[in-house]
Amino acid sequence: MADKQPPAGDNRPKLALHVPEPKYRPGDAVDYSDIDIGEPGSMSRPDETCSPDTMRDHAYGLVRVLGDDDNAAGPWDPRLSPDTLRTMMRNFAMVRAFDERMFRGQRQGKTSFYMKCTGEEATSVAAAMALAADDMVFPSYRQQGILIARGYPLVEMINQIYSNKGDKLKGRQLPIMYSSREHSFFSISGNLATQTPQAVGWAMASAIKGDSRIAATWVGEGSTAEGDFHSACTFAAVYNAPVILNVINNQWAISSFSGFAGAERTTFAARALGYGLAGLRVDGNDALACYAAQQWAANRARANGGPTLIEYFTYRAEGHSTSDDPSGYRSAQEREEWPLGDPVMRLKKHLIALGEWDEERQEAMDRECAELVKAATKEAEKNGILGHGLHHPFRTMFQDVYEDIPWHLEEQAAQAKHEREVKWPGEEPWS
């Protein structure tokens, strides 16, 4: 017999549902003094093959290298040469110039969509530079810095964004969802977190074959709430996959703040502890810390020490995309008050402090990068822009699915060709 319901007036306390709420909304004053960012150089650097259960402090603290004096400090200092730092600075400058040009292009109607990575450049550029050129990367949609750091032609990136006749993906992907086998850059997917189990699977395959290449993947903190992310963590831990799981905690998943993915309860790096993964929480606006953490995780993977989950604590300075207006859901002061500053400015000041850079050379580099992006844009626009009719021939929609086109696609292709001949007589039906 079913239990009786408690009588009316029962004195048991009523349950209450908690709904996360960001601290600041439009018009609010911002105070980040409650965020403990620690001191640069204070976090220890464990052995790269250490047991994950010894890394609790690294999942809750913050790996930092650059201090307020613009100098590097502590065991995580990667001690990069001035030339390497200048190369990193140039990659930063190129990413910003590219973002600005493509953002304006979208506003001019040349493409339908774009996403800037302002404030997050170090999480892709510095991390990519710490990997081997043939390590396989499985990015999300805000890691254009990886392709730029790996030397992918700007013209090809713009062709893809414009979905024109020069687009190697033949207009089959949304703008900014690049792919390049030659640069070990896996196809970006708009389905969030799918790249995480793919990266783990690729890393497992590399290990099975006795290869030397590792995998690295990038995902936003909001996407860690997806089931695919947790499946990836399980497989990575069980099979000791040589993979790096990079979580970009930029505080916002479109208009949903990080609390909806669990940030109110703990850090994202702390999720590693429950799975038996090595976990690092890193200052995502410190280029040297980003480089050092990725290098540490890569060395660990190559030594068969296992996977690593890295949380990059950063801030999305711009809107989620060109379709987003952040002024509608967050305080305008957040960007200026963010306690970890701007990654590009911090690296520039570090180089100047070393006596290896100055404002004049920075301005010259910024101008040069802007001109290179401008020239690449003009070259790509020869292949067409959105809505101007310069695109891949109609027939290509039936190609590249099967090695040999099956009968049902041949029938569909014939029907499509006939309908085009009827609607536009005298024109080439397959153009």
- Domain residue ranges of the chain, discontinuous segments joined by +: 52-381, 394-423
CA distances from 278 to 269, 283, 293 (A): 9, 17, 11
185 beta partners: 137, 180
- Per the prediction, the chain carries an average pLDDT of 95
Q: What integer pLDDT is reported at residue 25 of this predicted model?
A: 96
Dist CA 375 CA 418 (whole Å): 41
Domain at 52-381, CATH from 3.40.30.10, 2.40.30.10, 3.40.190.10, 3.40.50.970: 3.40.50.970
Show the beta-strand stretches assigned E in 3-138.
136-138
Angle at 120 between CA 151 and CA 258, to 5 degrees: 140
> 113 near 323, Cβ under 8 Å?
yes
Dist CA 215 CA 359 (whole Å): 37
171: tokens are 């207009």
Q: What integer pLDDT is reported at residue 431 of this predicted model?
A: 61
Exposure of 34 in the CB half-sphere (CA atoms within 13 A):
4
pLDDT in tens, the chain (431 residues): 566 776 666 789 999 999 999 999 999 999 999 999 999 999 999 999 999 999 999 999 999 999 999 999 999 999 999 999 999 999 999 999 999 999 999 999 999 999 999 999 999 999 999 999 999 999 999 999 999 999 999 999 999 999 999 999 999 999 999 999 999 999 999 999 999 999 999 999 999 999 999 999 999 999 999 999 999 999 999 999 999 999 999 999 999 999 999 999 999 999 999 999 999 999 999 999 999 999 999 999 999 999 999 999 999 999 999 999 999 999 999 999 999 999 999 999 999 999 999 999 999 999 999 999 999 999 999 999 998 878 888 888 888 889 999 999 999 989 988 998 898 887 776 66
> 313 near 340, Cβ under 8 Å?
yes
